[in-house]
């Protein structure tokens, strides 16, 4: 019986190999490589806002600075962590085993998925909507698979987890960001000296960010770089060591520099710092004809100081007072000194977010091209080998081209139009979204970093009474999310039907 099964397997393999003619499919491979680059470029133009949109929106980084940091850290994230999600999208959504006897169909299916997802992503980018590339790719994959095999071969369990993550990722990210926002409010803003309290927190933030990144990279890390063999305790020890080094550098290098800068500025009168000299000092009216006088402003300032003192001392009594005291200040860190302090932290968290984005979303653009190359080289639909590093780097190059050319469109939507963002809220948004995204990457779950970031923007923005979330714009973004899967799937199905007619 075993001999018969072996003979049957050999015959199927031989038939498949004969059926899959590499020479006649070179044009299709070239087309797939081009479409993969278009998808990567559109992804870079659309998804760069996930990592750096809030930093640009808050004024912490310029566009050129954001693009430069994005190029570096997206590359690191893709190479060190991105392989895990690549495997999920390449072989997890659809069971490639149903194409074992017809690898050529799967080959053209990957091209159809690339075409459907890239067309929709380009359109959404030019409209300024931050749609999910993951949605687009999954929709394209379902589109060609429904044409070729119907419902057979679709991994509904894996697809269910992905769909669930699209709901849970913005919620988780939003809760995470609100928690950080509240902690900063209690430990920094509501202190007697917010600036000094913030300086004391900087080394802690650096320890957490660096340690978290190192642990994620080392524990069950890239198989390509042989990091998957590192034991848990070694990864944890290395994370603590690198985190401690980063905290020490922040404590002894960054904090003294910020403190000296604040001290130098405090030696000048406030009006000289803001206007450039005593001659330009503001003149306050002597009468009461509708304008607030200096005395009124002083009384108002004293009232604010008294309120701050009350907050410093904590809640007086009762659960209602406790909740009121714990509620974040809507104007968190809007003053220039504390804003500058969080700007220093936000640059670092923006890099963290770029690393997370590279780990999560580069895989989207390279998953179909990795499948194409594997099928073309091995004449098999099973794709048993690991994703080569050069494929990941190809995706990174495509993404960087897109973000350097058209990234400003979506940055304007996420970083400026949805809600007002200052350096403090931008820090909490980026850190919450990045942590949620990179944890999902570690478990191979292709969640949407777009959803994570927008979820954090909404959550933190809803706390700011003076600068509320622009719900009308958010409604349009939500509609673009809903239609992403069906539109990408329909385009992919149409391309697949065309291939069946001409190929």
Q: Which residues contact 444 (CB under 8 A, 6 or more apart)?
A: 84, 85, 87, 88, 92
Of the two residues 280 and 395, the one the predictor is more confident about is 395
Average pLDDT over residues 155-176: 81
What is d(CA 447, CA 438) in angstroms, rounded to the nearest whole number?
Answer: 10
Q: Which of 291-300, 326-335, 465-474 has the lowest mean pLDDT?
A: 291-300
Q: What is the 3-state secondary structure (H, E, C) of 3-29?
A: HHHHHHHHHHHHHHHHHCCCHHHHHHH
Average pLDDT over residues 245-264: 87
Distance of CA 489 to the CA centre of its chain: 24
pLDDT recorded at residue 465: 53
Q: What is the DSSP string of 302-337?
A: HHHHHHHHHHHH---SSHHHHHHHHSPPTTTT-SHH
Residue among 311, 335, 327, 300 at smallest CA distance from 424: 335
The C-alpha angle 31, 36, 40, rounded to 5 degrees, equals: 150
Coil, strand, or helix at residue 99? helix
Answer whether 427's CB lies under 8 Å from 24's CB.
no
Average pLDDT over residues 359-369: 71
462, pLDDT greater than 70: yes
Average pLDDT over residues 159-186: 83
Mean pLDDT of the chain: 73
Q: Which of 266-280, 374-388, 409-423 has the lowest mean pLDDT?
A: 266-280
Q: Which of 37-41, 52-56, 240-244, 433-437 has the lowest mean pLDDT?
A: 52-56
Question: What pLDDT band is residue 131 in, cutting at 50, 70 and 90?
Answer: confident
What is d(CA 442, CA 34) in angstroms, rounded to the nearest whole number?
Answer: 29
Question: What pLDDT band is residue 280 in, cutting at 50, 70 and 90?
Answer: very low
Q: Which residues contact 60 (CB under 8 A, 6 or more apart)?
A: 343, 346, 347, 350, 423, 426
Answer whether 212's CB lies under 8 Å from 236's CB.
no
- Percent above pLDDT 90 for the chain: 10
Q: Which of 22-31, 179-188, 442-451 has the lowest mean pLDDT?
A: 442-451
289, pLDDT greater than 50: no
pLDDT recorded at residue 6: 47
For 235, the token pair is 């990864």
Q: How many CA atoms lie within 13 A of 163 on its CB side?
A: 11
Average pLDDT over residues 409-438: 70
Of the two residues 127 and 279, the one the predictor is more confident about is 127
pLDDT recorded at residue 122: 86
Question: What pLDDT band is residue 4 in, cutting at 50, 70 and 90?
Answer: very low
247, pLDDT greater than 90: yes
285, pLDDT greater than 70: no
Q: Which residues contact 483 (CB under 8 A, 6 or more apart)?
A: none
Of the two residues 305 and 399, the one the predictor is more confident about is 399
Instruction: Give counts: helices (H), strands (E), the chain.
Output: 19, 0
What is d(CA 311, CA 382) in angstroms, rounded to the nearest whole number?
Answer: 62
pLDDT recorded at residue 144: 92
409, pLDDT greater than 70: no
What is d(CA 90, CA 483) in angstroms, rounded to the nearest whole number?
Answer: 23
248, pLDDT greater than 90: yes
Coil, strand, or helix at residue 94? strand
Average pLDDT over residues 254-268: 78
> 26-57 vs 336-378: helix axis angle to the nearest 10?
170
Percent of the chain as helix, strand, coil, to the nearest 5: 80, 0, 20
Terminal Cα-to-Cα distance of the chain (whole angstroms): 38
Of the two residues 348 and 7, the one the predictor is more confident about is 348
Q: Which of 139-153, 156-170, 179-193, 262-276 has the lowest mean pLDDT?
A: 262-276
**Cα 462 to Cα 50, 180, 392, 474, distances in angstroms:** 19, 15, 37, 12
124, pLDDT greater than 50: yes
pLDDT tens per residue, range 310-342 = 444 455 555 555 555 555 555 554 555 666 677
pLDDT recorded at residue 184: 84
What is d(CA 109, CA 87) in angstroms, rounded to the nearest whole number?
Answer: 17
Q: Which residues contact 445 (CB under 8 A, 6 or more apart)?
A: 85, 88, 161, 162, 165
Question: What pLDDT band is residue 111 in, cutting at 50, 70 and 90?
Answer: very high
What pTM was estimated for this model as a whole? Answer: 0.70
Phi-psi region of 337 (alpha: psi -120 to 50; beta: other; left: phi over 0): alpha
């Amino acid at each position: 019986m075993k001999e018969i099964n072996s003979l049957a397997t050999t015959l199927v393999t031989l038939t498949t190999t004969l059926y899959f003619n590499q020479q006649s499919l070179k044009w299709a491979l070239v087309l797939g490589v081009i479409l993969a680059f278009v998808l990567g470029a559109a992804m870079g133009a659309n998804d760069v806002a996930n990592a750096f949109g809030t930093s640009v929106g808050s004024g912490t980084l310029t566009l050129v600075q954001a693009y430069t940091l994005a190029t570096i850290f997206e590359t690191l994230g893709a190479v060190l962590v991105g392989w895990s999600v690549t495997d999920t999208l390449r072989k997890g959504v659809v069971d490639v085993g149903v194409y074992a006897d017809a690898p050529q169909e799967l080959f053209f299916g990957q091209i159809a998925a690339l075409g459907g997802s890239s067309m929709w992503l380009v359109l959404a980018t030019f409209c300024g909507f931050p749609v999910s590339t993951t949605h687009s790719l999954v929709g394209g994959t379902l589109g060609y698979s429904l044409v070729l095999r119907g419902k057979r071969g679709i991994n509904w369990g894996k697809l269910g987890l992905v769909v669930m993550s699209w709901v849970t990722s913005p919620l988780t990210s939003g809760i995470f960001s609100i928690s950080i926002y509240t902690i900063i409010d209690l430990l920094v803003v509501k202190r007697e000296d917010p600036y000094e309290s913030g300086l004391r927190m900087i080394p802690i933030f650096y320890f957490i960010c660096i340690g978290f990144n190192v642990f994620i990279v080392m524990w069950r890390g890239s198989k390509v770089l042989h990091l998957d063999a590192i034991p848990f305790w070694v990864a944890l020890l290395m994370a603590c060591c690198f985190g401690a080094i980063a905290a020490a550098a922040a404590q002894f290098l960054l904090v003294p520099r910020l403190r000296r800068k604040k001290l130098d500025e405090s030696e000048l009168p406030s009006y000289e710092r803001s206007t450039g000299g005593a001659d330009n000092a503001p003149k306050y009216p002597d009468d009461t004809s509708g304008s607030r006088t200096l005395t009124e402003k002083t009384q108002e300032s004293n009232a604010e100081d008294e309120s701050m003192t009350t907050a410093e001392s904590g809640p007086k009594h009762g659960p209602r007072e406790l909740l009121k005291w714990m509620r974040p200040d809507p104007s968190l860190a809007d003053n220039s000194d504390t804003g500058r302090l969080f700007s220093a932290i936000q640059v670092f968290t923006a890099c963290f977010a770029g690393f997370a984005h590279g780990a999560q979303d580069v895989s989207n653009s390279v998953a179909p091209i990795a499948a194409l190359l594997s099928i073309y080289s091995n004449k098999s639909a099973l794709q048993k080998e690991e994703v080569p590093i050069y494929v990941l780097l190809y995706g990174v190059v495509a993404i960087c081209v897109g973000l350097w050319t058209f990234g400003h469109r979506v940055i304007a939507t996420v970083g400026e139009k949805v809600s007002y963002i200052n350096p403090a809220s931008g820090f909490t948004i980026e850190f919450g979204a990045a942590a949620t995204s990179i944890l999902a990457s570690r478990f191979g779950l292709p969640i949407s970093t777009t959803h994570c970031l927008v979820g954090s923007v909404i959550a933190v923005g809803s706390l700011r009474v003076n600068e509320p979330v622009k719900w009308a714009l958010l409604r349009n973004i939500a509609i673009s999310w809903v239609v992403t899967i069906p539109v990408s799937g329909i385009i992919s199905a149409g391309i697949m039907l065309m291939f069946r007619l001409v190929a």
